[in-house]
Chains A and B, each alone.
Chain A
Amino acid sequence: MHTTDIQPEIYNFVVENFLFGKADGLAADDSLVGKGVIDSTGVLELVSFIQERFGIRMEDQEIIPDNLDSIRNLVTFITRKRQQS
């Protein structure tokens, strides 16, 4: 799966699950916590989605804003992890 395929899938997951289908102009670089899209339990939901959907095991140390806090960070992180495996 290429970056181009991952992006819409992540975007749809975030919009469907945290914004309940209403994108509200969410941009790829928007901070998900900063914009109030997700909170602590949202981060956990995001982590389990990544683990299950992309078969990536996330260590506690990887659950950081650099990897998760925007659509772009998520896509970069997942792409990198998939290349490593």
Chain B
Amino acid sequence: MQVEEFLERSAQQDPQKIALICGSARYTYQKIEEASNLLAHALVSSGVRRGDRVVIILPNSLEAVLAIFATLKAGAVFVVLNSTTKADKLAYILNNCRASAMILGARTMAAISGCWTDAPHLQSAFLVGGTEADLDLIRSAGKKAFSFDEVQRQAGNRLPPIKKCIDIDLAALIYTSGSTGRPKGVMMTHLNMISAATSITTYLENRADDVVINVLPLAFDYGLYQLLMMFKVGGTLVLHDSFAYPNVVLDKILQEGVTGFPIVPTISALLLQMNLSQYTFPRLRYITNTAASLPVEHIRKLRSLFPNVKIYSMYGLTECKRVSYLPPDQIDNRPASVGRGMPNEEVYVVDSEGNRVGPGVVGELVIRGANVMKGYWELPEETDRCLRPGPLPGEKVLYSGDLFRTDDEGYLYFVGRRDDIIKTRGEKVSPREVEEVLYALDGVAEAAVIGVPDPVLGSAVKALLTLRPGANITSQDVFRHCSSRLEDFMVPKLVEFCESLPKTESGKVSKRAIKERASKFDATQALSPSE
């Protein structure tokens, strides 16, 4: 089976069922099936072949959904990127995966103008919205350019292209921040994604009458899977662009009779700041949380605000999609736990020699299952570091890089990360990636980036800088420089100028010493963009 069959089967079973709601527009399974078939044929005609990579850079919208399924139907591999991805990173990814096609929105055109000439493998682009002049601009860089909307208006083939893939072919590359500073493409096969979606829909008990609201970007696997899982069970997805206006989202939950609401800790922090007394959500069946663990205090408050709603505390890694979930009947007993492995998946804690350890002992978490990725795209050394031999000859299991312990009944507790990746707003930020951008700012002598606790963001990205003699840089200069080169969530929220940064004996900047100093640092001295 292949991932696009989630859509094809649901369209066959109940063609008139509402599959997707975007704003006030509603789309049936039949409509999405036919529209994505039209686009799939257009992709094939433009030269996209089995296994080719197609980069999709669109906001949460019907077009993004069509682009994902059309790519799969064309036998290709989808690569969904955040719509705020900046030109440098986009050019890096286009070249890293050698994308042959890109599907993008007119809004992105201005931000990425230089990419066309920097991506020699890119053959064609499909533009949502935009003008003839935009298409001409793409053509002038030697690429084929098509209007997405025109493809939908043409009388093309509404049946799916003939299938050429098998389930161990790649379905997606999901780019994630790496400790090296460059994003890594996580290779997910159809089988990986189907296994993960099956395990998750099993424990969430998803059914065709579920209505899930997704406010998370589709570039984030947690957001992406809301789409895949609803289409798998023949449910309805309410696709919303963000949680920027919580009231609008809450009204939507009521209006559409939403049964499932996936959140990250930042959303829970925003929800808990509001007066929710006028709301009741009679149809809401569950809330899920992942990306970073929910503070126990949040869990208790959410439980009292939503007494009849099941709260699933979960933990995941892009490399295997999801690791664990806490059965909702356990949340009051062990709120600090992220639960146990999913159905059809084994998880265990090992010591530094790879031996399994008992309850209470801290070690690295290992994941075994069909949901574990094939590796990092064209990074054999990094792949070997985290995919290591498992119990069966030739088998590979995933070493998570995260430290855990279990209690006597085998429930998992997160202890810490082995690397220094920062989790902010539920997204992973590589300090190296931000530091490299900071070093490119004229006048910066040394830069160190750390995460500091923040009640809404989980961790806030903080930059510590020393300047070259005579340099005159303000925190506004730093914010402006970073915001034009990094995605929003990576831009430091705090900047501190220092006389010097603490060093290790070998002369490297010591993150440990900086973190110790930061915990003592008077927060009122820090400058944030709002000041």
Contact = CB atoms under 8 A, between A and B. Distances in A.
3 nearest CB pairs, A to B: A20-B480, A20-B479, A33-B244
A60 B244 contact: no
Contact of B529 (A18, A34, A69): A18
27 contacts: A17-B529, A17-B530, A20-B476, A20-B480, A20-B483, A21-B480, A22-B480, A22-B484, A33-B245, A36-B488, A39-B244, A40-B242, A40-B244, A40-B246, A40-B266, A40-B267, A41-B425, A41-B456, A41-B457, A43-B244, A45-B529, A60-B246, A60-B247, A60-B274, A60-B275, A64-B245, A65-B248
A36 B84 contact: yes
A67 to B, nearest CB: 9
A83 interface: no
Interface residues of B, number: 28
A71 interface: no
Interface in B223-249: 241-248
Contact of A63 (B246, B425, B479): B246
A35 B107 contact: yes
A24 to B, nearest CB: 9
Most chain B CB within 10 A, of A38, A41, A42, is at A41
A36 B529 contact: no
B244 A61 contact: no
Contacts of B84: 36
Nearest to B488: A39
Most chain A CB within 10 A, of B84, B246, B456, is at B246
Contacts of B245: 33, 43, 63-65, 68-69
A14 to B, nearest CB: 11
Interface in B271-323: 274-275
B242 A39 contact: yes
Contacts of B241: 33-34
Given A36-B488, A40-B244, A63-B246, 10 more contacts: A21-B476, A22-B480, A22-B484, A34-B241, A49-B530, A60-B247, A60-B275, A64-B247, A65-B245, A65-B248
**Contact residue range for chain A?**
20 to 34
A3 to B, nearest CB: 24
Nearest to B270: A40
Contacts of B476: 16, 20-21
Contacts of B243: 40
Contacts, number: 65
B483 to A, nearest CB: 6
B83 interface: yes
Contacts of B83: 36
A65 to B, nearest CB: 6
A33 B270 CA distance: 17
Contacts of B270: 40, 44
Nearest to A42: B244
A46 B8 CA distance: 44
Interface string B517-531: 000000000000110
Most chain B CB within 10 A, of A34, A40, A42, is at A40
A33 B266 CA distance: 17
Interface in A29-76: 33-36, 38-45, 48-49, 60-61, 63-65, 68-69
A36 B242 CA distance: 11
Nearest to B457: A41
Interface string B258-276: 0000000011001000110
Contact of B530 (A19, A39, A45): A45
A22 B481 CA distance: 10
Contacts of B267: 40
A38 B245 CA distance: 11
A40 B240 CA distance: 13
Nearest to B250: A60
A18 B456 CA distance: 18
A32 to B, nearest CB: 9
Contacts of A48: 530
Nearest to B477: A20
Contact of A64 (B59, B248, B274, B529): B248
Interface string B486-519: 0010000000000000000000000000000000
A45 B530 CA distance: 7
A59 to B, nearest CB: 8
A20 B529 CA distance: 8
Contacts of B480: 19-22
Nearest to A36: B84
A40 B241 CA distance: 11
Contacts of A19: 480, 483
Contacts of A60: 246-247, 274-275
Contacts of B483: 19-20
A81 B457 CA distance: 31
Nearest to B111: A36
A49 B528 CA distance: 14
Nearest to B84: A36
A66 to B, nearest CB: 10
A53 B483 CA distance: 26
B480 to A, nearest CB: 3
A11 B243 CA distance: 23
